[in-house]
Amino acid sequence: MSAVDTLRLTAEEGLALIERRELSGVELHAAYLEAIEKRDGELHAYLRTVERAEGDAVPIALKDLISTRGVETTAGSRILAGYRPLFDATVATRCREAGLPLLGKTNLDEFAMGSSTENSAYGPTRNPWDPERVPGGSSGGSAAAVAGGLAPWALGSDTGGSIKQPAALCGIVGLRPTYGTVSRYGIVAFASSLDQVGPMAKTVRDCALLYRIIAGRDPCDSTTVELPEAIELPRDEDLRGLRVGIPRELNEAEGVERGVSDAVTRAIELCRELGAEVGECELPRSVEYGLPCYYLIAPSEASSNLARYDGVRFGHRADGSGSIHELYERTRDEGFGDEPKRRIMLGTYALSAGYYEAYYGQAQKVRTVIRDEFAAALERFDVLLSPTSPTVAFPLGSRTENPLAMYLADVLTIPPNMAGLPGLSIPCGLSEGLPVGLQLIGRQFSENTLFRAGHALERALEFDFVPERLR
């Protein structure tokens, strides 16, 4: 077996090694387990690993809210400790059918609620670029695993920015697909009108390969649709003919760090050099009202989705005697951490009689405004560009006491998510020695365009995805 540099190897290169029979999928799986053994004590990207490789392609890591038959799936919550799903999520089945052996389940903010992976009941994940900093979240475990050479690629999920933001903070590529293109069957639900599963990898082409495996209609998820066109692996190295819009409010939002803004400006300049037609546009209300709109709709849906955790059929149950209601209430108080409790309370309040119209009803109307604004911008442009995150990775513990400060991490990813649009984050440079993410937003079902643009930019940017301290 040839030595594998798991920090450098892309999934595509791994597949080529297997194709040429220089390496087997089982050997590759073993090489990653060895890397995990060596480095995951520090990073804590994984909640558990799978020792036996099943499949002979490139292995994969799955966020621990993706059901895996017989393999504990916790969603980062104490309330699901010990829970072993009876079935595979459709995305897990598709990975298995494609021959991708499971490496393990990655850490996340509890029920995907958070932007730093510090809300996991099982301890935080650390950023491979600087272990004193967060990897972003909620798919922080998947992002850190890929960036730290502990998985060639991984699946995450994104409700308000949980794929794009950690991809940005860890210097990798992440796709939040168009709503409805990837099955949620077997995914632990957070906010059903927003949740999407998507690929995280070192390159745009790897993301396209993995998206091709998981996307498409699933009879078990009635919100899925067939893709209107096949997914192509991007090859073009220029952007000729592409109209690129720069929404002012997303790029000049309050709180965008200077270093982040500089890196994004350079990427925009590069678009021009690559032949794109670049122009400005406006999203007057989407950015200002996106975050408040999201923090009414997502918690409202969460308060309903999380009602199923009652200690009766699976998961944690509180000890002691009492009525059935006392059992529910104590089980939920013991099982949920602070963030799910905050969001359940917020959602329950927003949906309760007397407040419904002012909060939830109004937020749904704001959502229409956001959709219309993006639709207008995307009539003039094929792709919109902005920073993915206003800041680079922040220090562990710096925002945990202030929920509203943490919520701001997603201020730039939430608006397109409310509109159901796909978004790709690619690394576009460094600020203070830490990766900066560039967000590419497209029309619904325009993943091929995002891949094409992302790939051409990636080639021109020549970002080195191996964290500096690990080179």
Partner 1 sequence: MGSELRVTVSREDVLQVARLARLALTEDEVERLGAQLGAILEAVGKVSELDLEGVEPTSHPLELVNVWGQDEPRASLEPEEALANAPDRSGNLFRVPPV
CB of 338 to partner 1, least distance (A): 8
Give the residue with the Cβ less far from partner 1, 241 or 361: 361
CB of 413 to partner 1, least distance (A): 15
CB of 401 to partner 1, least distance (A): 10
Which residue has tokens 């998981």?
A: 214
Count of CB atoms within 10 A of residue 352's CB?
12
Give the residue with the Cβ less far from partner 1, 49 or 193: 193
Give the residue with the Cβ less far from partner 1, 42 or 338: 338
CB of 176 to partner 1, least distance (A): 12
Q: How far apart are CA 286 and CA 284, in angstroms?
A: 6
Q: How far apart are CA 39 and CA 43, in angstroms?
A: 7
Amino acid residing at 78? R
CB of 229 to partner 1, least distance (A): 17
Q: Are 147 and 53 in contact (CB under 8 A)?
A: no
Which residue has tokens 């529910």?
A: 328
Of 313, 243, 280, 314, the residue nearest 72 (C-alpha): 314
Give the residue with the Cβ less far from partner 1, 38 or 365: 365
CB of 334 to partner 1, least distance (A): 9
CB of 79 to partner 1, least distance (A): 11
Count of CB atoms within 10 A of residue 320's CB?
8
Q: How far apart are CA 312 and CA 433, in angstroms?
A: 49
For residue 38, indicate whether it is catalytic.
no
For residue 162, indicate whether it is catalytic.
yes
Give the residue with the Cβ less far from partner 1, 42 or 333: 333
Alpha carbon distances (Å) from 141 to 16, 43, 47, 67, 284: 26, 9, 9, 16, 34
Instruction: Determine the angle formed by the axes of helices 25-43 and 11-19, rounding to 10 degrees.
Output: 150
Give the residue with the Cβ less far from partner 1, 351 or 392: 351
Q: How far apart are CA 342 and CA 350, in angstroms?
A: 12
CB of 66 to partner 1, least distance (A): 17
Of 115, 142, 162, 303, the catalytic one is: 162
CB of 295 to partner 1, least distance (A): 5
Which residue has tokens 């408040």?
A: 292
Residue 260 tokens, joined: 């982040």
For residue 202, indicate whether it is catalytic.
no
Give the residue with the Cβ less far from partner 1, 47 or 428: 47
Of 67, 77, 120, 138, the catalytic one is: 138
Give the residue with the Cβ less far from partner 1, 259 or 292: 292
Q: Classify 452 in phi/psi space as left (phi over 0), alpha (psi -120 to 50) or beta.
A: alpha
Give the residue with the Cβ less far from partner 1, 16 or 324: 324
> Any idea which residues carry the catalytic annotation?
63, 138, 162
